[in-house]
Amino acid sequence: MPAPPKRPGPVHHVAVCVRDVPAALAFYRDVLGLEELRRWLRDDGTLRSVWLAMGALHGERAFLAVEEVPGGAPRHDSAPGLHCLALQIASRDREHWRGRLEAAGHPVERESEFTLYARDPEGTLVALSHYPDSAMGISSSR
């Protein structure tokens, strides 16, 4: 009898729908420093999607897919579904990231002991977090 399949995981990719791919790239690539992996074009040659590396998990890269949805309606925090995109930072770099976000026009709108929260150009809540540090054996001092 074959062994049962492994459970899914870790995260392979997350997709964020945007109305303006260049504005989203200015935030995710230029402000947050996510490495651009690949661009996807429509048949007419216009930009449809960009994949950005979010880090390595078990030797594999998780990525953020920035997908254009022309004319799409903004999502509200109270709507069901994905609430925020949380990316890990080192605790010692927290103030660096606060300054970088604010200098780029994306001020920290709230924070906790472990996380800074800001908005991307579409209003998506983006968290930069060093929680839970040692509570789960994760080192944020990398």
121/9 Cα distance (integer angstroms): 29
User: So what's the architecture of 11-70 in CATH?
Assistant: Roll (3.10)
Return phi, psi of residue 104, to 5°.
Answer: -90, 5
* Domain boundaries along the sequence of the chain: 11-70, 83-142
130/114 Cα distance (integer angstroms): 5
State the chain's mean pLDDT as an integer: 86
pLDDT the model gives residue 92: 92
pTM of the model: 0.82
Percent of the residues in the chain that have a pLDDT greater than 90, as a whole number: 63
The CATH code belonging to domain 83-142 is 3.30.720.110
Paired tokens of 114: 């472990």
The model's confidence at residue 35, banded by pLDDT at 50, 70 and 90, is very high
34/81 Cα distance (integer angstroms): 24
